[in-house]
Structure 1
Amino acid sequence: MKISRSLQALALSALVFCTGAQADERSDPGKREYMDRCAVCHGQSGKGDGGMIDILRVAPTDLTTLSRQNGGVFPFDRVYSVIDGRQAVKGHGSRDMPVWGKAYGSETVRAGEHYGDMPYTMEMYVRARILSLIDYLNRIQAR
């Protein structure tokens, strides 16, 4: 799934606008996703120093250096495909990192519980969660 750069920018802008760009987890769905799903391995700071590091075969990636390792550009497409499960994580052998796209899609939580009476489908709900997480990862990049 190729997402155009303008659509990416629009989606990320909407997410930042909707969250008020606040760092508080209660009002920052991307940070909340990260802390709930990623911090256990990648650490609260995103530097790959989470609590599971001692039992993992391969050290988790320092997620704060994704842009630096990609010529100063945040690798949106690659990050999206890793999170939703379309791209395997190199060096992990079998898929050790959970595939959140599939996990989100199989949850029994109704999208309406999170968005009120708005006409969201489960696919839209999954995409919103992934985009929120990607927005947060983009915001924690080392400068």
Structure 2
Amino acid sequence: MRAALKLPAALAACLALSACVEEAQPSGAEDFASYCASCHGVGGKGDGELASALEKRPADLTTLTQRNKGEFPRLRMMAKIWGYTGTHDGGAVMPNFGPLLESRMVPYDAGDGIQSPTPERLVQLAEYVEGLQL
């Protein structure tokens, strides 16, 4: 009889614990591989497998800092991947980052001194791209 009571209690405890465990979130590198590498290339040089099929060659993401006087353009990068630039940047084709936008919001300073609520996965992706700089 006691063993029969222990099993439901153990199951209830397991369910309660599993509700507390957060689902693993992809890293910035994993999101880059999923959303960016097909055009920008695995190393971010703009040489992905789909790059030749595009009207405009994808940017070489490894030289963003170099092309911006030695400073990584965090605000412009975030605006681009979040979609704020619309078609004002020459009509560049970018994928839908929907799942990344659905991640929890975290404070992010894009270089303007303002901590803005930003989807965590976009922050991780931007930080990953910043790490690709030559």
Q: TM-score, length-normalised on structure 2?
A: 0.65
* Cα separation, 2, equivalents of 1:39 and 1:106: 19
Structure 1 unaligned segments of length 5 or more: list them: 1-25, 108-121
1:34-113 correspondence runs (5 A): 34-88=32-86, 90-91=89-90, 93=91, 96-100=93-97, 103-104=98-99
Report the CA distance shift for 1:72/1:31 in structure 2 as closer, same or farther (over 3 A). same
Report the CA distance shift for 1:105/1:30 in structure 2 as closer, same or farther (over 3 A). closer
* Cα separation, 2, equivalents of 1:106 and 1:61: 22
Number of residue equivalences? 99
Q: CA deviation at 1:98?
A: 1.8
Report the CA distance shift for 1:42/1:77 in structure 2 as closer, same or farther (over 3 A). same
Contact 2:105–2:119 at 8 Å: present in 1 too? yes
Map Cα deviations across residues 43-88 of structure 1 (whole Å, 9 max, x no partner): 0010000000121010000000000111100000000010001013
Q: Percent identity?
A: 35
Supply the AA of the counterpart residue of 2:69. G
**Please, what is the CA RMSD of the aligned residues?**
2.6
Query: 2:125 maps to what in 1?
Result: 133
Query: 2:105 maps to what in 1?
Result: 124
Q: CA deviation at 1:104?
A: 2.3
Supply the AA of the counterpart residue of 1:136. Y
Secondary structure of residue in 2 paired with 1:136: helix
Contact 2:45–2:59 at 8 Å: present in 1 too? yes
Supply the AA of the counterpart residue of 1:140. L
Supply the AA of the counterpart residue of 1:65. T
Q: TM-score, length-normalised on structure 1?
A: 0.61
The structure where helix makes up a greater share of residues is: 1
